[in-house]
Amino acid sequence: MSASTTIDMIPRSGLGVAPLLAAFIEKDVLPGTDVLAEDFWSGLAEAVETLGPRNAALLERRQKLQAQIDEWYRKTPVEDIRPEAQRKFLQDIGYLLPQPDDFKVGVEGIDPELSAISGPQLVVPASNARYALNAANARWGSLYDALYGTDVIDESDGCAPGSGYNPVRGARVIAYARDFLDRAAPLVTGSHTDASRYRIEDRQLIVDLNGTTTPLQEADQFAGYRGSSNDPEAILLRNNGLHIEIKIDRKAPVGKDDLAGVADVVLEAAVSTIVDLEDSVAAVDAEDKVLVYQNWLGLIKGDLTSELEKGGETIVRALASDRSYVDPKGARIDLSGRSLLLVRNVGLHMFTDIVTDKNGNEIPEGILDAFVTSLIAKHDVLGNGVYRNSREGSVYIVKPKLHGPDEVKFTVNLFADVERCLGFTPNTLKIGIMDEERRTSVNLSACIEAARDRVFFVNTGFLDRTGDEIHTSMEAGPMLRKDEIKSCPWLTSYEDRNVRLGVQHGLQGKSQIGKGMWAMPDEMSKMMEQKISHPKSGATTAWVPSPTAATLHAVHYHDVNPFEVQAQLAQQQSDGLNELLSPPLSVHRDYSPEEITEELENSCQSILGYVVRWVDQGVGCSKVPDIRNMGLMEDRATLRISSQHVANWLRHGLVSEDQVLEVLKKMAKVVDEQNADDAAYRPMSGNFGGEAFNAARELILHGRDQPNGYTEFTLHKWRRKAKSSCSIA
């Protein structure tokens, strides 16, 4: 859809600009940045003219390589699809590049939240102001609340939450928290469980225990306090770089019954948050795009608010203020009350018609994102906001879906152009490399080298990486069932190499090495059992689906120090390419009709459950019930897996087109029932000609033809059709 067919564009430096965007940039963003409107628009126009053709060439290169890979798989017998053969073939076509000589990153100006502190990371859609504020404020979280409200504390032996406060469950929560304190900040003698008083004496924390007193085993873990030294309101501890606050209030509902007056244990949790303009949002036009930019601006300037109704009252959410304490020497210390905010731009493959070039063509949306999100972030660099985000004066841009080092170099060049246009010091704009496409995985060292002076993280994206693995190897043969793919050698190698190569190239103490999302927000007990594997692997951060999950996952970074793991990994070398080049094929499996139907129904229900909200309601990320009614966090990455998996089985004859359509219709009824209480929901099963159902159908039946298996093009097309219909607001 061309912008010229829908709205009259405003001319700016040879570009056509949607009026809503032009007004936002010129009235809301530019004032206070020391950047003139004509300089901004001319800089954007120059970048579009010079980098636009390179962007197109890189996308063409992707398609050419994929076509060569498809042809090789089609003509190669499955028994000959061995890692060594693939390795040679990929080298011959220039997909697998020579490894660079050993190097270390030279990035500077990285905030400690990314370089020196390990902890959870949130990803939040920029389109939802309330969610964004909640995520930004998730720097600190109540461990008591997180435990009481989740299945980490089971409901046995009278511990069910009930309608009011259950003191039996509360006692279990307190016991869990005290055990945590004993691990994170142990006493010389005794246990925090037996504490009757916390006080400060001779610059030390002293704990009274049943007639005796004891300090901490490590005195320097005492970081500060609030209130009087003899009767503090809060005790601040520090372990593995993260803070713990013991909140003391003998009048509070919990504190009044606690021997030491402890009312809560508050953890420093989501030390960083990605404000997402990509996979978790549905931004298909000027209205949508300006909204996500506005929310990013509000977060950076500190004036974003959101109202909600709760208990008959209107509550206004805003950014949390800093937290103040007195350190052991009596000096005031201030700790940030908010996550360090990063912003995720879109990938190279996305184009937008809210700005058109001199010929009236859509421009690469990633170029627009780089200019606008960086211009907004200049308010932080200049100190214009209520709070500082980056105290180092850096701007952190996560760049998704890059394919290999040439695309990383392109992004580095784009950032340099933005810096020159907007008056930033060189290398102010930092890049987070999402290692979520196979061409990046196999060339990760070269990708890091291409951004060696800007890289602030490398992060595995297991969900998108699986979708790309299926699409890249589409012609090789039918894939294993989705759950079986998780235990394949390529995935283990992928997760392992990401950390080892990051350590090898000097990211430790300079930049984050991260891991992907826990997708089951209601399964916190399982998360606590399994996600400790991330810090144990040496990863300094991992994604979580909610502020509550961030608080719980923070416990893992007290139990395991990833920097110590990295120190051990620095002594080891690993290639792992052979495992990485082993597609998860099911050639030695003979699935029964029942297994095939089960897998197909699972995928189709997942696709429809996500797509119907995306297309009809513009919800890019939400907790979607699966076929068993278990809530799963879904975004375009999970959609890519399911749609590509069904497309693969369709390609190789495990399922037929008629079977797919039959199951889609059956699952549409299931999804309709699951959303029966949503007044804004439009049922799919009464009329299978609606936009949402057609989008799901297209994602599967045309999945092989979608560039790299991406779902964005189909979703955008059908969302725009839905928005243009009279029944969608």
Q: Up-side HSE of residue 85: CA atoms within 13 Å toward CB?
A: 12
- Check residue 52 and give left, alpha or beta (phi > 0: left; psi -120 to 50: alpha): alpha
CB 515 within 8 A of CB 460: yes
What is the 3-state composition of the chain as percent helix, strand, coil, each rounded to the nearest 5? 45, 20, 35
Give the H/E segment covering residue 247.
strand 242-248
DSSP class of 324:
E
Residue 230: count other Cβ atoms within 10 Å of its Cβ.
9
Pairing of strands 631-634, 232-239: unpaired
Whole-angstrom distance, CA of residue 362 vs CA of residue 466 = 30
Residues acting as catalytic residues? 344, 635
Six token digits for residue 651:
């390609």
* Residue indicated by tokens 């120059």: 46
- N residues, the chain: 729
Q: Up-side HSE of residue 69: CA atoms within 13 Å toward CB?
A: 27
DSSP 163-186: SS--HHHHHHHHHHHHHHHHHHS-
374 phi, psi to nearest 5 deg: -70, -40
* Residue indicated by tokens 């700005």: 355
Six token digits for residue 720:
């725009």
Residue 704: count other Cβ atoms within 10 Å of its Cβ.
16
From the list 544, 455, 537, the residue with the least C-alpha distance to 499 is: 537
Q: Is 83 exposed, middle or buried (0-12, 13-18, 19+ CB in 10 A)?
A: middle
CB 722 within 8 A of CB 615: yes
CB 648 within 8 A of CB 470: yes
